[in-house]
Amino acid sequence: MNGNDCMTGVERIRSAIAKRQGDATAAFMPYVLLGFPSRMESVAMVQSMADAGADLFEFGFPFSDPLADGPTLQAATHKALLNGTTTRQCLDIAKELRDAGITQPFCAMSYYNPIFNYGPARFIEDAARAGFDGFIIPDLPPDEGEEMEEACREAGLALVYLLAPSSSQERVELVTEHSTGFIYLVSVLGTTGVRASLPDYLTDLVALVRANTDTPVCVGFGVSNGTQAAQVASIADGAIVASALIDTVLGPNGADAVKCLARKLAQGAHGH
C-alpha cells in the first residue's frame, strides 16, 4: 500500500530522510491540510507536490482549537471544518492517495482530542490501513504518550514528538528517547507562520538535539522559501513547510503557484 510494504512506517520515514541526508542536503516535507480548500483540491495538491520533489508529507487533520497554529493555518482549518471535513474523511483521503499511486511516507498531524474521541487504538489501526506511516501530535507530550506509543510500536508506526527553543535539557533527553521516525524541532517560539529569516540560534539548537540522539532532526515553523530550506538543509535532516504553502494556495494562481513554490523548496532542501 505504501510502495514499500515490507517496511514498517518508522522504516519508511527513516529511509525517505536518509536518502536526502548529506552535506547541505535534507528531506523536504510539505504540510497539506486535508479538506482544504476542498477535498478534491487537497488531493490535487499532494499529487502536485509529490511531482515537485516532496520526500514525505505531513497531513493536517482539521481541529477547532489548533493551539500551535498561527493565523494562516487557523483560517485554513476553519475553512476545512466548514467543508465538513472529519477525521474519518481524512483517513479516506489518504487511502485515495495511496490508491492513486502516491508512495511517499505520510505523517498525520492531529491534535489529541480528535484521536481521543475516535479511540486511539482504533485510530492507529485505521490510519495504518489508510496508508499512514506516523503521527505528529503537538499537544501530546511524551510524559502522557504511553498509550499512543504502545499502539504505534505494535503497528510499526512512528510517533513524532516536538522540541522548541525553550526546551530544557531534561525535555530534550525525554523527547529524543521517545520520538521515533524523526524529531520535529520548532525553530521559533510561538505559533506557525512565515518568517522573514530563520533565527541565529538555530544551528546551535540543532546541534544540541543531535548531541542526544541519532534520530533525524527535521525543522519546521517559519521555513518559507528555497533559501531558508537550503539553510535548514545545511544543519538538519529535514525541512518542514506549512504556512507558506497555505498562503500560496490562497493566492491568485493557486495550484500552479503551489507547485512552483514546492519545487523551489525541494531544490533548496536537496541542494540544487
Higher-pLDDT residue of 152 and 64 is: 152
Cβ(85)–Cβ(42) below 8 Å: no
5 is catalytic: no
In tens, the pLDDT along 209-228 reads 999 999 999 999 878 899 99
Nearest to 139 by CA among 182, 170, 184, 172: 184
Higher-pLDDT residue of 249 and 95 is: 95
In tens, the pLDDT along 169-189 reads 999 999 999 999 999 999 865
In tens, the pLDDT along 253-262 reads 777 889 999 9
Backbone φ and ψ of 222, nearest 5°: 105, -15
Question: Which among 5, 51, 55, 69 is annotated as catalytic?
Answer: 69
214 is catalytic: no
Fold assignment, 9-270: TIM Barrel (3.20.20)
Nearest to 3 by CA among 92, 102, 132: 102
Question: Given strand 134-136, what is the order of strands in its sheet?
Answer: 158-160, 134-136, 106-109, 57-60, 27-33, 238-241, 217-220, 183-186, 162-163
Cβ(270)–Cβ(25) below 8 Å: yes
pTM value > 0.95? no
Question: Which among 58, 126, 133, 247 is annotated as catalytic?
Answer: 58
